[in-house]
Structure 1
């Protein structure tokens, strides 16, 4: 793997990160069938990043060694039940000389809740260029979520939400560059949001697997992507009760090696919203400026009546 960039040292994986790693460590039921646990969520459905990351784990466990995901395309079909396990069935669509394609269906209670197609590739050299990383404050100068969240507790429709959010995101060190949507509801802003993130602990030794880092970034990618849609309209989101939302589809392209336990900048913007849906696009950069991942998601964004 290429040099992932620099960052100040932080502690080995703590309990919350180990819990997340355990969540991504699927049980193999049959050759191409896997079962994943669920966890209680802030809202009464499975977190979309969880099911996307678990589905990608399932796909990668059937891929020849040395081939890493370069893209995924997914649809959220039904809300997942956080109180029940999820079964992932993998179809081996194609194994070519350079590319491997897999399709994964996630099932709960006998019904598909999620569908993912993923493509993996053996490493090869080729033409290369990239967009420039935008300017942003250094992550070490920004407050951690657990430091920031108590300031806005009075804004939430349910006073228990801030603590639930912190618990749900405890495995991730997430730092907003500017105030999040729920902090400035009623103030329309440029539809752009930036966060720095990394796992809340180091991943070394047996956990130093590039596929795992890709799956962890997939997990985080669904946390804040639709924020930019809310910002354009001065909406605070579901947590303050002025929007009903859910992910519809999700696509990611993995361009360059990165580590999920080193700082990554998630630069997000929304080009449009219409018809009860909002579109958001994100780019994930390493701290030293390499474009690692591109993300696009459309989600339901409805104003309650």
Structure 2
């Protein structure tokens, strides 16, 4: 479409969703190193972990100068955040060197910490370069069903058994479009290999600021990851069979990537046990460049069925 042509209503809605995510990840500065993050409009229940990670990264990025860029972050979830109340982000400037800087962020609600995050920043430089990880050979996003199609299928299969909150979550428009290759665990009870592939992108263009692209990628990196650990067990949150929570989350940013262009998210789970599941992720551009690596451990427990339930 020509840039001078009027946008269709659907495109306008997509841009509003993208703008809404940018606004969600744009913090209000309350003092030099303290920030306030707003709540997700219409959010229900617990705050999405990717939101808290991305907002904490934004707090850290806001205190960095000299052109340094985030190359890694490590976060621990302490408690589940509650949708509605604002989240406070207190940042400590632990180190500022010539090439690297380090920031520590504590996210709190009502004075109670819910997440600790440490991020490292580096001034861009040339160096030894290799990429041993080849991009997986999977169908492109154009050959996969859209988010809307998958959610409609899910509602058709499980809508009557869902709570009002689950149905609201399934029908809420999302700023991140996901297209997954292979069967999804919430639709298929058959156990399968703990390996999955999903394409994702923001539904409309972002500003060119690399910091907001890193924040959106951090936000999206919490999608699909923990679910990989339950694929061998044939269990689903949608069917009320699981109780879970993220415990920690780490990202290494290898290269700049645009979050409003298709990125392939490959995830696998080498191990689960003791009520925990360990998951890894690799994020590639369409032309095969590895731009980020992810790791996460989460609590996963089989839900106890109530007596008399089917």
TM-score under structure 1 normalisation?
Answer: 0.91
Query: Is the aligned partner of 1:222 residue 2:222?
Result: yes
Deviation, 1:81, is 1.2
Deviation, 1:94, is 0.4
Which SS does the other structure have where 2:238 is aligned? Answer: helix
Equivalent pair of 1:193/1:227 in contact (CA under 8 Å): no
Cα deviation code 1:250-291 (max 9, x no counterpart): 000000111000100000000000110000000000000000
Residue from 179, 186, 189 that aligns with 1:182: 186
* Structure 1: stretches of 5+ with no match in the other structure: 1-9
Q: Using the alignment, how far apart are the partners of 1:141 and 1:20 within structure 2?
A: 26
Deviation, 1:41, is 7.1
Cα deviation code 1:74-95 (max 9, x no counterpart): 0000110111000000000000
Equivalent pair of 1:139/1:175 in contact (CA under 8 Å): yes
Deviation, 1:149, is 1.3
* Structure 2: stretches of 5+ with no match in the other structure: 1-9, 305-310
Equivalent pair of 2:18/2:205 in contact (CA under 8 Å): no
Equivalent pair of 2:74/2:250 in contact (CA under 8 Å): yes
1:202 corresponds to which residue?
205
Structure with higher RCO (Cα < 8 A, 6+ apart)? 1
Deviation, 1:179, is 2.0
Equivalent pair of 2:59/2:89 in contact (CA under 8 Å): yes
Q: Using the alignment, how far apart are the partners of 1:118 and 1:190 within structure 2?
A: 32
Deviation, 1:239, is 2.2
Equivalent pair of 2:99/2:122 in contact (CA under 8 Å): yes
Q: Using the alignment, how far apart are the partners of 1:91 and 1:120 within structure 2?
A: 14
Cα deviation code 1:117-165 (max 9, x no counterpart): 0001011111111111110101111111111211122235416425413
TM-score under structure 2 normalisation?
Answer: 0.90
Query: Is the aligned partner of 1:287 residue 2:286?
Result: yes
Equivalent pair of 1:195/1:267 in contact (CA under 8 Å): yes
Which SS does the other structure have where 1:20 is aligned? Answer: helix
After TM superposition, list the pairs within 5 Å mapping 1:103-122 onto structure 2.
103-122=104-123
RMSD after superposition: 1.6
Residue from 133, 136, 144 that aligns with 2:135: 133
Structure 1 122/166 Cα, relative in aligned 2: closer, same or farther at 3 Å? farther
